[in-house]
Amino acid sequence: MPHPVALITGAAHRLGAHTAETLHARGWNVVIHYRGRQQQARALADKLNQQRPESAVCYHADLTDMNQLRQLAEQACAQWGQLNALVNNASVFYPNPTEDASEQDWDTILGANLKAPFFLLQQCLPALKAASGSVVNMIDIYSEKPLKDHPLYCASKAGLAALTRSWAKDLAPDVRVNGVSPGAILWPEGESAADAAHQQAILDKTPLARTGNPADIAGAIAYLVCDAPFITGQILSVDGGRSLNM
């Protein structure tokens, strides 16, 4: 019986890489998408192929370029002749107060976080339907209670949450669609010691009083993909309870 296949966007590092490793450990073949981290993507694919030959590949695409997005979908679906899961993990995150935001900011953030998942699913849909597959979208707790000075990011994730629920209705019973909404798991790259007070303030609002770890998110995604055949249209908050106190 062939191994099931998952396409994971933004899978060269951080949460995407952990998700690829977790699904791979459960017997999946993985298509590792990357935009700028070629070396990390290839290293991850090599690592997984050493564990199980011909079980991982990596493909480059700028998901805001429709031609590259279509090519990625074609490559992913053709690699092993099937596609059982799509994990829309790739996203863009940076502050842009309303008074300073540009049209380019809009196109960059909404393009990566909302437009790309929509059209990637559209391109992968025939293969997902054929496999009775599933989709997991990476949402964010800020989709419900916005983060100051991040209006476009919050809007993009709120839109992705709405797409998750819409797709769950529209694509049933052929394809299940769910989301995972992380809280404090990994701090944004580039944060300095000056951000320590902000980080502590977040932890003070988290009932479990600590950050999570990437395995918490990867495990939640694996659960929704592998172990939840009667769950669709749900967004699972993995946030240590923080959404209770935002």
User: Is there a contact between 156 and 109 (Cβ–Cβ < 8 Å)?
Assistant: yes
**DSSP per-residue codes, 214-242:** HHHHHHHHHHHHHS-TT--S-EEEESTTG
Fold assignment, 5-244: Rossmann fold (3.40.50)
pLDDT at 111: 97
Considering the chain, what percentage of its residues have pLDDT values greater than 90? 78
- For residues 103 and 1, which has the higher predicted lDDT (pLDDT)? 103
pLDDT at 147: 87
Q: What is the DSSP letter of 97?
A: -
Query: How many Å apart are CA 45 and CA 215, to the nearest integer?
Result: 19
pLDDT at 239: 76
- For residues 84 and 245, which has the higher predicted lDDT (pLDDT)? 84
Radius of gyration of the chain (CA): 17
pLDDT at 49: 98
Q: Out of 10-14, 114-118, 207-211, which region has the weakest mean confidence (pLDDT)?
A: 207-211
Per-residue pLDDT of 45-90, as tens digits, reads 999 999 999 999 999 999 999 999 999 999 999 999 999 999 999 9
Per-residue pLDDT of 176-215, as tens digits, reads 999 999 877 666 665 554 576 667 777 777 777 677 788 9
Per-residue pLDDT of 131-159, as tens digits, reads 999 999 999 988 988 889 999 999 999 99
Active site residues: 153
Query: How many Å apart are CA 225 and CA 6, to the nearest integer?
Result: 9
